[in-house]
Amino acid sequence: MLINGESNENQALENFENILKSRRTITFFDSGRPIPPEQIVKAIDVARWAPNHKKTEPWHFYLLGAEVQDKVKALITQIKVAEQGEASRQAIRERLDAIPGWLVLTCEVSADSTRQFEDYAACACAAQNMMLYLWQARIGVKWTTGKVVRDPRFFELLGIDINRHKIVGLFWYGYPLQIPAQTRKPVADIFSTLS
State the residues that interact with ligand FMN by CB under 6 A. 24-25, 142-146, 169, 182
Which secondary-structure segment (H or E) carries 59?
Answer: strand 59-63
Bridge partners (DSSP) listed for residue 101: 173
Shortest distance in whole angstroms from residue 27 CB to ligand FMN: 7
In the chain, what is the straight-line distance between the N-terminal and C-terminal CA atoms, in Å?
35
Query: Cα dihedral sign for 62, 64, 70, 73?
Result: positive
Q: How many CA atoms lie within 13 A of 172 on its CB side?
A: 23
Shortest distance in whole angstroms from residue 172 CB to ligand FMN: 9
| Residue with smaller CB distance to ligand FMN, 100 or 169 | 169
| Residue with smaller CB distance to ligand FMN, 11 or 145 | 145
Q: Is 82 helix (H, G, I), strand (E, B) or coil?
A: helix
| Residue with smaller CB distance to ligand FMN, 40 or 166 | 166
- Pick from 143, 131, 158, 156: which is nearest to 69 by CA? 158
Maximum alpha-carbon separation in the chain = 67
| Residue with smaller CB distance to ligand FMN, 6 or 97 | 97
Q: Report the relative pairing of strands 165-174 and 101-108 from DSSP bridges.
A: antiparallel
Shortest distance in whole angstroms from residue 180 CB to ligand FMN: 7
Shortest distance in whole angstroms from residue 2 CB to ligand FMN: 32
State the Cα–Cα distance between residues 52 and 120, nearest whole angstrom: 9
Shortest distance in whole angstroms from residue 56 CB to ligand FMN: 19
| Residue with smaller CB distance to ligand FMN, 44 or 168 | 168
